[in-house]
Amino acid sequence: MNLKCIIFDLDGTLVDSEQLGSRALIELLPEINESLEVLTDRYHGGKLAEILIDIESRFQCLIPKDFEVVYRRRLARIFEQALQPIPGAIEVLAQLEPPLVDRICIASNGPLAKIKDALRITGLADYFATNLYSAYEIGAWKPAPDLFLYAACQMGVGVDECIVVEDSPAGVEASKAAGITVLHFSSKPVEANSKTYRAFSDLRELPKLLMKLQQMDSPNISS
């Protein structure tokens, strides 16, 4: 494989933010009577607007029109207090340079301001510079393929010259729909599919996986 670019998801892949997002929802919406873990698992990698619609339906509550603004402010405060990089993220990003890979970027369902804050707080910002792509920029969210296709185009690479590193089912589905090989970072068992090279549970495994990909003619083989 002629690997030129790695497209990273952010939340749950490079920064440990998924439960923090659920924490903000629980703090702001007392009608929610589920645990942090259950809520996080249900809404993992989802679009906020769709999450709020589901919460209204399931918990029979009316969410104010300005809730997203309030939520983003609360989440930003929680991030400043508690956000951490995923174990191994800094170590791995420091290794991602030629000849292993030419360039890296972020493609996230979150707003650009949230992406920048998360990278700054966790010390990851310098690795990505301005190579940050948000679903809000193009009006299309995972599991649609548009964001990954947009990121590949902006980075000047073809879909056969990049891979996606993702933790959410929505992100894996988006990668498959875009025709991009995806490495599924997950602590849970993941069903293999024709566009997933493999699932892995420790981010520090990534450089070895990339080396293996570079040696293969066709990476679209599960193992």
Tens digits of residue pLDDT in 158-179: 999 999 999 998 999 999 999 9
Give me the residues of the chain with pLDDT under 70, please: 188-197, 217-223
Q: At what angle do helices 67-82 and 48-59 cross, to 10 degrees?
A: 110
The matching CATH number, chosen from 3.40.50.970, 3.40.50.1000, 3.40.50.1460, 1.10.3660.10, for 5-16+85-214 is: 3.40.50.1000
Which residue among 9, 11, 102, 167 is the active-site one?
Answer: 9
Say what the pLDDT of residue 80 is.
Answer: 98
Say what the pLDDT of residue 14 is.
Answer: 98
* Phi, psi at 99, each rounded to 5°: -85, 0
Q: What is the pTM of this model?
A: 0.90
* 187 burial level (CB within 10 Å; 0-12, 13-18, 19+): exposed
* 36 burial level (CB within 10 Å; 0-12, 13-18, 19+): middle
Q: Domain extents for the chain? A: 5-16+85-214, 18-82
Lateral strand order in the sheet of 196-200:
132-134, 103-108, 5-8, 162-166, 181-185, 196-200
Q: Is 9 a catalytic residue?
A: yes
Say what the pLDDT of residue 194 is.
Answer: 43
> Residue 153, Cβ neighbours under 10 Å: how many?
12
Tens digits of residue pLDDT in 94-126: 999 888 899 999 999 999 999 999 999 999 999
